[in-house]
Amino acid sequence: MTATRIRRRARFYVESALAVVFALTTGLLLWRPDWIEALTGADPDHGSGTAERILLIVSATATLLLSGFARREWVRPAAAHRTTA
């Protein structure tokens, strides 16, 4: 296995793991939208929920982007292999 292929495989696993972490975070944010108040007792948005919505959007976006990046890494070696064979 070449060094480039090992790096691509490692990158795929890192991106996949981060996508899973952000997906779980997104699920937790949907399940418990008042987690900031429950965890810290602080109310940064004075009860409007804006801070939680922003975190939810960021987490969901990160999940989609990292999933796409991981998919690209998974498909790229196969496509490169087919063109050289």
Q: Could you give the CA distance from residue 26 to residue 14 in angstroms, rounded to a whole number?
A: 18
Domain containing residue 34: 3-84
Q: Is the pLDDT of residue 1 over 70?
A: no
Q: How confident is the model at residue 84 (pLDDT cuts 50, 70, 90)?
A: low
Q: Could you give the CA distance from residue 69 to residue 11 in angstroms, rounded to a whole number?
A: 9
Query: What pLDDT is stored for residue 79 in this prediction?
Result: 55
More confident residue, 47 or 21: 21
The percentage of residues in the chain with a pLDDT greater than 90, rounded to a whole number, is 46
Q: What is the mean pLDDT of residues 5-17?
A: 87
Contact, 13 vs 71, CB < 8 A? no
Number of domains in the chain: 1
Q: How confident is the model at residue 8 (pLDDT cuts 50, 70, 90)?
A: confident
